[in-house]
Amino acid sequence: MTQTNRQILLVSRPTGAASVDNFRLVETPLAPLEVGQVRVRNHYLSLDPYMRGRMSDAKSYATPQPLGEVMIGGTVGEVVESQNPKFKAGDKVVGMFGWQEFGTSDGTGLVAVDTTHVPLSAYLGPVGMPGVTAWYGLNRIIAPKAGETVVVSAASGAVGSVVGQLAKRAGCRAVGIAGGEEKCRYVVETLGFDACVDYKAGNLYHDLKAATPNGIDGCFENVGGEVLDATLARMNAFGRIALCGMISGYEGNPQPLKYPALMLTQRLLVQGFIVSEHMDVWPQALAELGALVAQKQLTYRETVAEGLENAPAAFLGMLKGQNFGKQLVKLI
C-alpha cells in the first residue's frame, strides 16, 4: 500500500494580517525512493518569524514562498529509508523539509546530528538557526566587552534568550524586554538576565531607563517599533545595534522611527543581518552552543503544538507573541 504524506501548502498571500485561510492541508502519495535519495520522517517542525515575510511577494532578501507548494521551514527527524550511502535508517537529521510529515531529498543540505547529550528538538532552537542568529548578532556585530550593557528585545524568545545568556557569559549587564510579567520573571529568574522590562506595562521608556542606569552599549533588536524607539533613546555614544527582526511590523503595520537622528548624534553602528548569509561562522557557533546545551549551561524553553494540522494556528499565535520560547510543532 502506498504511504501518504500530509503537507501544508501556502495557497494565498495575506492582505493585512495572515490567517489560517492562507494555508491548506493536503495528502500526497509518497513515491518510491530513487537511487541516491533519502526519506525522513519529520519529528519536529520549526516555526519562525521570517516565514511571515516569505508569505508576501514584496521585495525582500529572499524570494517569496511559491503558492501551491509546501510551506518553508526547518525540520528534525529520523531517516526511515535510504538509497544514499551517506545516510542510514535510524540516523537523526536536520533539514529544511518544510511543513510536512515526510521529507525526501538527495541528501543536499541534510545534516546528521548526535542526540546523545542534545535533544533532537534543540537542533531547531539553541543549537540551530535561532542559536546561530543569536551568536552572530552578539559576537560579530555588538562585539560586547565586559562591563557593558546589552539590551535584548523579545528576550524570552528562541533567539533573545540565547543572546542574553551569551552576553552574561561575556561579562555584560543583560537587560531584556518582553511582554508580560510571567515572561519577564522567566528572563530574570531562569535565564539569568540582570533585569527585564515588560513593554505591556505601559511605561516602556521609563522602565528601560531605570534598568539601564549607565545607558545601553549594545542592542539586539527583534521587534522594532516603539521598542526600538525606547532603546535608541538610551543608547550610548558608539553603541552597536544588531537588527535581527522587526516583528512588530510583520503583519502590515510598520512603525517609523521617532528619533532616527540619534543614530547620527550617538554615532551608532546599526547593522541588519541574515544569518544564512554567514555560513562560515555556523560550525564554530554550533560547536559552542552544542557544548553549552550538553553541559546544561544554556537554558531554553519550547512551546510545542501537537500535529501538523495545528501548524498554521501555532504560527499565527507566535506572530502575536503567544508562544513562550521556541515555537515547535510535534509531528510524531
169: part of which helix (H) or strand (E)?
helix 160-169
pLDDT on residue 57: 86
Residue among 275, 271, 303 nearest 289 (CA): 275
Q: Return d(Cα 314, Cα 326) in angstroms, integer.
A: 11
Q: Which residues belong to CATH 3.90.180.10 in the chain?
A: 4-125+300-330
Q: Return d(Cα 257, Cα 20) in angstroms, integer.
A: 31
Write down the CATH number for the domain with range 129-276.
3.40.50.720
pLDDT on residue 332: 80
Whether pLDDT at 131 is above 60: yes
Whether pLDDT at 1 is above 60: no
- Chain mean pLDDT for the chain: 95
Instruction: Give residue for cell 545601553.
Output: 216
Mean pLDDT of 66-77: 97
Share of the chain above pLDDT 90, in %: 89
Whether pLDDT at 2 is above 70: no
Q: Which residues belong to CATH 3.40.50.720 in the chain?
A: 129-276
Q: Return d(Cα 217, Cα 268) in angstroms, integer.
A: 9
Q: Return d(Cα 133, Cα 245) in angstroms, integer.
A: 11
* 74 pLDDT tier (thresholds 50, 70, 90): very high
Q: Which fold has domain 4-125+300-330?
A: Quinone Oxidoreductase; Chain A, domain 1 (3.90.180)
